[in-house]
Amino acid sequence: MDAKLMRCNSCAIRHRAVCGALSESELEEINSIARSKFIPAGQTVMADHEPSEFFANIVSGVIKLTKMMADGRQQIVGLQFASDFVGRAYSSRNPYFAEAASDVELCSFPRDDFEKLMASHPGLEHRLFEKTLDELDSCRD
């Protein structure tokens, strides 16, 4: 069995993350584009209004999402934890700053490749939509 697939099969967040909707053969496809990234605490993961180059599942750690207010203040708009999805699919620019609040391990996917996978695997797109709606509900609560 492919070492990348084995890593995915033993991943602690797999069943809660967007990739939890994938079959074994689909996992092989996502593994072909997945890359592990380590981001030290305090480092920027994504910058507001910058080109969106990748999406990611948080494997471990916490990411702080912020928006810059017109008067220069920074407002925290969310915290993301293990299994949360970072990035805004179908957008060419990042909608917020994402900063590692602790050391963070990501399973990242290049934007174009991930969007192609979503187009060919509706289960992945559906799972991402469900997670997005869950986050919206959480914000409203």
For the segment 56-82, what is each residue's pLDDT rounded down to a tens digit?
999 999 999 999 889 999 999 999 999
Residue 5: is its pLDDT beyond 60? no
Q: Find tokens 């033993």 and name the residue.
A: 10
**pLDDT given at position 137:** 75
pLDDT higher than threshold 70 for residue 135? yes
CB 80 within 8 A of CB 11: no
Contact call for residues 98 and 64 (beta carbons, < 8 A): yes
pLDDT of residue 100: 98
- The pLDDT value recorded for residue 27 is 83
Average pLDDT over residues 126-136: 76
Q: Give the CATH number for residue 94.
A: 2.60.120.10
Owner of token pair 């916490």: 62
**What are the φ/ψ torsions at residue 139 (nearest 5 degrees)?**
-65, -40
Long-range contacts of 110-113 (CB under 8 A, 24+ apart): 110/33, 110/53, 110/54, 111/52, 111/53, 111/54, 111/55, 111/87, 113/33
Domain housing 76: 3-140
Neighbours of 85 (CB within 10 A): 20
Give the rounded percent of residues in the chain with a pLDDT score beyond 70: 95
Q: How many domains does the chain have?
A: 1
**pLDDT at 80 (0 to 100):** 94
**pLDDT tops 50 at residue 24:** yes
Q: What stretch of H or E contains 124?
A: helix 122-140
pLDDT of residue 1: 39
